[in-house]
């Protein structure tokens, strides 16, 4: 067989690791060309919420594809986008009055940052400084990397990343350092140096290692930003759609952001789409008769009708089915299994939020830990899709996963602790 010309993401092709050919998926399972059934314990990189090939979402995609596939969105509109914007308005916090479409989590973050800078410029008080949290992750485009943690992931691009001010991750049991640092950073600087916005993943930092911090800290960070008039951007690309136990993680802190980024579970995980929602003043700052104040952002496939139809099917599932009950049930089942696993001596740390659990195996040696490839290989052989972040193994399954499949996942993790 001639080698595939495909260059895979986050893959070192030189290691010669196998690349299974996936021919189908359903529920919490993937099916490979060599006849294996693989349990998808990470929701295919955090996107699949209700399950793979969900019949309602698949039908919506098929119907829409035959009706209207794609149309320019600058100056034109279509029903799937209008329905989706109205549907989001109905379930998201009422303060978030405006819906801007893009295609991925990274672009939803780029849009959020551009909205924030445009807001300040158009108000005649330009500010450029962006505040971020240590260990944050917001995507892999240059702007999204700039507001994320620096590391081996972005070493080559570092000179091009813009400067941000990083506040410390809330230390266990404390968090006062975080709040003090945020307060100082909001206060500092005038004019271009003023703080324009603070961007954060609410309650759970995903790619940074599935790190959890208390809702009280989130609420307090929001209060500090409000106090100083600094825009508060919640990147809920991973945390939304029930992942943390509620529709939005922000809900658990009673927080409404000024700008909200949504993607991954927006279509139930079936097809790429993102939205950035904003409070009215952010839109109003771009509004008027001056064409120079419009929001200068677009991509070819903005609000693609097929993707919007998938998202509408996802919203219908949320409206008509007991999704939060399923989430609560999975959270409980995850908690039970984590409690059993935690007693193993090789487990040096464990945490859980909503449907997500994370387990630390041995000492932490970072993302390039040499245990990680061994774990990856071990889980692949066990027909379980898990992809540790360094020595952190996390489980984030589709909400439909069965008890039997969840057991397979945790049995594999328990065995992996010894390798």
Note the residues at the interface with ligand PLP (CB under 6 A). 104-106, 109, 137-139, 201, 206-207, 235, 237-238, 263
DSSP 184: H
Smallest gap from Cβ 105 to ligand PLP, in A, equals 2
Size of the chain, expressed as the number of residues it contains = 419
Measuring CA to CA, which residue among 235, 182, 175 is closest to residue 204? 235
Smallest gap from Cβ 347 to ligand PLP, in A, equals 24
Bridge pairing between strands 392-395 and 356-361: antiparallel
Residue nearest to ligand PLP (CB): 105
Which residues, 6+ apart, have CB-to-CB distance to 291 below 8 Å? none
Q: Which is nearer to ligand PLP, 263 or 334 (CB)?
A: 263
Measuring CA to CA, which residue among 237, 291, 296 is closest to residue 265? 237
Q: Which is nearer to ligand PLP, 287 or 297 (CB)?
A: 297
Smallest gap from Cβ 414 to ligand PLP, in A, equals 27
Q: Which is nearer to ligand PLP, 70 or 141 (CB)?
A: 141
Which residues, 6+ apart, have CB-to-CB distance to 129 below 8 Å? 164, 165, 185, 188, 189, 192, 193, 194, 195, 196
Q: Which is nearer to ligand PLP, 200 or 375 (CB)?
A: 200
Q: Which class for 171: exposed (0-12), middle (13-18), buried (19 or more C-beta within 10 A)? A: exposed
Q: Which is nearer to ligand PLP, 201 or 405 (CB)?
A: 201
Smallest gap from Cβ 382 to ligand PLP, in A, equals 25
Smallest gap from Cβ 125 to ligand PLP, in A, equals 28
What is the chain's Cα-based Rg?
A: 21
Q: Which is nearer to ligand PLP, 108 or 122 (CB)?
A: 108
Structural element, H or E, at residue 395: strand 392-395
Smallest gap from Cβ 260 to ligand PLP, in A, equals 12
d(CA 162, CA 113): 12
Q: Which is nearer to ligand PLP, 132 or 323 (CB)?
A: 132
The β-bridge partners of 262 are 275
DSSP 149: -
Question: Can you read off the two tokens belonging to residue 214?
Answer: 């208390």
Smallest gap from Cβ 238 to ligand PLP, in A, equals 3
Q: Which is nearer to ligand PLP, 99 or 207 (CB)?
A: 207
Smallest gap from Cβ 121 to ligand PLP, in A, equals 24
d(CA 162, CA 177): 24
């Amino acid at each position: 067989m001639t080698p595939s010309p495909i260059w895979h993401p986050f893959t070192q092709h030189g290691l010669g690791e196998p690349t299974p050919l996936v021919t189908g998926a359903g529920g919490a399972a993937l099916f490979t060309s060599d006849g294996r059934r693989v349990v998808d314990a990470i929701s295919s990189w955090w996107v699949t919420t209700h399950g793979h090939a969900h019949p309602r979402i698949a039908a919506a995609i098929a119907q829409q594809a035959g009706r209207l596939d794609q149309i320019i969105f600058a100056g034109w509109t279509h029903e799937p986008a209008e329905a989706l914007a109205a549907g989001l308005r109905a379930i998201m916090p009422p303060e978030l009055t405006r819906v801007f479409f893009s295609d991925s989590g990274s672009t939803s973050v780029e849009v959020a940052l551009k909205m924030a800078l445009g807001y300040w410029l158009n108000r005649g008080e330009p500010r450029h400084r962006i505040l971020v949290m240590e260990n944050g992750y917001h995507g892999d485009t240059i702007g999204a990397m700039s507001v994320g943690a620096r590391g081996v992931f972005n070493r080559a691009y570092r000179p091009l990343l813009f400067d941000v001010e990083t506040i410390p991750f809330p230390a266990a049991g404390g968090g006062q350092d975080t709040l003090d640092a945020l307060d100082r950073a909001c206060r500092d600087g005038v004019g271009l140096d003023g703080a324009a916005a603070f961007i954060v993943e609410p309650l759970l930092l995903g790619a940074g290692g599935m790190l959890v911090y208390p809702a009280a800290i989130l609420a307090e960070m929001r209060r500090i930003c409000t106090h100083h008039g600094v825009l508060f951007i919640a990147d809920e690309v991973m945390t939304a759609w029930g992942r943390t136990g509620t529709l939005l993680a922000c809900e658990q802190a009673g927080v409404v952001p000024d700008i909200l980024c949504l993607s991954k579970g927006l279509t139930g995980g079936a097809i790429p789409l993102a939205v950035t929602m904003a409070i009215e003043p952010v839109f109003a700052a771009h509004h008027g008769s001056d064409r120079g104040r419009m929001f200068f952002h677009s991509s070819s496939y903005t609000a693609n009708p097929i993707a919007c139809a998938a998202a509408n099917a996802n919203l219908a599932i949320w409206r008509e089915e007991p999704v939060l009950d399923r989430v609560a049930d999975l959270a409980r089942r995850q908690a039970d299994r984590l409690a059993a696993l935690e007693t193993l001596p090789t487990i040096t740390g464990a945490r859980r939020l909503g449907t997500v659990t994370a387990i630390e195996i041995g000492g932490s040696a970072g993302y390039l830990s040499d245990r990680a490839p061994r774990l990856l290989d071990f889980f692949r052989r066990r027909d379980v899709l898990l992809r540790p972040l360094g020595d952190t193994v996390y489980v984030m399954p589709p909400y439909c996963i069965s008890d039997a499949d969840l057991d397979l996942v945790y049995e594999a993790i328990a065995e992996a602790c010894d390798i």
